[in-house]
Amino acid sequence: MNAQKPLHSNMDDLLADDPKLSNMISEIQELYLDDDKPWVIGYSGGKDSTTILSLIYVAVSKLKKSQRHKHIYVISSDTLVETPMVVNMVTTSIEQINTHAEKNSLPITAHIVIPKMDQTFWANLLGRGYPAPTQSFRWCTERMKIDPVSEFILDKAERFGEVVVVLGSRKQESNSRKGNIEGKEVRHTDGTLKKAAREIKGSKFNRHSTLTGALTYTPIEDWTHDDVWMYLLGAPAPWGGDHFELFHLYKDSTTDGECPLVTDTSTPSCGNSRFGCWTCTVVTKDRAIEGLIESGNGNEWLIELKKFRNKLYESTNPETKDQYRNYKRRTGRVQYATRGINNDNDIIVKTIPGPYWMKQRQEWLKELLSIEKKLNDQGIKISLIHPEELYAIRREWMYDPNEPDWADTLPKIYREVYGVDLDWADQDAGAFTQADADLLKELENKHEVPYELAMKLIELELSMDGLSKRKGLYKSMGSLLNRDWGALEDIKKKMDANKHKPGLKALDMGYDEKLKELAAEYEKISS
């Protein structure tokens, strides 16, 4: 389709030319007028959600002012790592919608929701060391998409009793979406089969599968790909402008689809190279980004983001991920997995890797900040990571369960890249320094106590300093002492010495005895 200008100069001409479309507008109006339940429109900036938003916008604008009796919330989810072009387009649309709606007395407001700053992609990956998402461990969907959207919807449901969530889902898009629309069981991202939205007999609405007080409405469920584009390119956008930027974005990316508004795990967060997070490692290649780069149009700077994303993807390779990740889990324990080889006659035992090594997280943060500064210096105004995320990451590093960063390296990394300091809050700083960590390293061999263990015990003592009753002290000490401390080879030797088989919980009897000695000493001091 060679798009230069809308097929019709205004929406009225388009409706007059398409009776089926006119009937849909009437259906939307009837449903809107039927009750007092406010509507929430899921708007991702893609073709399907833009179509939904436009249809409802047109329907409400054609009602008498006195009939516009209930509010419509337009909600867009920004994970803070979205494809930059999509972010810019959505932000512009949101501003246009709010301005136009207020000017024309439409009960419509558009909102952008974001994840909590301690639950963003970078707070989890760089802060906590979570591995880059994969099909089997897609931790990002719930934290970054479902939770912010659900919180907004549930707030409105609690306030008004019930709300109607309007989605741009189409049966043609995928089997999972078709199943969700039709109320069948669908496979969620955790691999389980769960009931989709529940059908309400005699109603155009379904009950949401997980959100109490939320109904769902999918007006274009039977539309085809061509139906969507014919509508979007048929007339100008009702809030101003047109949809040709969106059309060219799809054309340049050589992809078909969008990242939908995600309200539960039955909806694929993206995948299949749909517009979504530029950091997405669930797919092998981000063909959307690659298409934008290959199209030219000044998008060559995306190569920097592509290279960084590919580095994250490489860390998910089963053959090499041990290079990137700690042999201990965030629980402080070494866990093992066994699998049969040679027709199960032989057993191979491997450690299950934990979070990324602190050194790896530090290197990636420095590289991410360097890319951000480079692009900004080139005149490309973009924020790849926000100061609030850096604050959250700093706290995670300082109190990391395996590698506490007493050196407080994050402000140093930022200063090295940008040459200035952010407003680092004093309370974010740890009570200890690099000199303290170095001293504990020197004492490690002398006393045969891993310096990381000593660090965590000192942190525990500080956390209870000044308390009249140190409730849970022994339990906390026991938890720390029962972790797997030291190098992996040392841990394996201790397990062999204690006659524990790989795969079973390794208990260091030496630390257990030391706990009893420490408890006895503590009782003497306290008495």
Mean pLDDT value of segment 134-153? 90
Nearest CA among 134, 143, 523, 525 for reference residue 314: 134
Q: What dotted CATH number matches 11-242+259-267?
A: 3.40.50.620
Q: pTM higher than 0.85, yes or no?
A: no
Quick: pLDDT tens for 352-386.
899 999 999 999 999 999 999 999 999 999 999 99
Secondary structure (H, E, C), 268-305: CCCCCCCCCECCCCCCCCCHHHHHHHHCCCCCCCHHHH
Q: Which residue has the tokens 């008498």?
A: 64
The pLDDT-based confidence of 343 (bands split at 50, 70, 90) is low
Question: What is the secondary structure of 335-369 as a DSSP string?
Answer: -EEEEEETTTTEEEEEE---SBPHHHHHHHHHHHH
pLDDT at 427: 52
Summarised one tens digit per residue, pLDDT across range 293-305 is: 888 778 899 999 9
pLDDT at 145 (0 to 100)? 87
pLDDT band at 210 (very low <50, low <70, confident <90, very high): confident
Q: Report the b/e string of 232-244 with b at 16+ CB within 10 A.
A: bbbbbbbbeeebb
The pLDDT tens digits for 177-201 are: 445 545 554 444 445 445 545 677 7
Q: How confident is the model at residue 527 (pLDDT cuts 50, 70, 90)?
A: low
**What pLDDT was estimated at residue 177?**
47
Q: How far apart are CA 360 and CA 368, in angstroms?
A: 12
Which pair of tokens denotes residue 276?
């979504």
Phi, psi of 504 (to 5 degrees): -95, 160
CA distance 241 to 76: 19
Residues contacting 262, CB < 8 A, separation 6+: 77, 141, 145, 146, 149, 269
Least confident of 158-167, 457-466, 504-513: 504-513
DSSP reduced 3-state for 23: helix
Token look-up 């549930």 returns 154
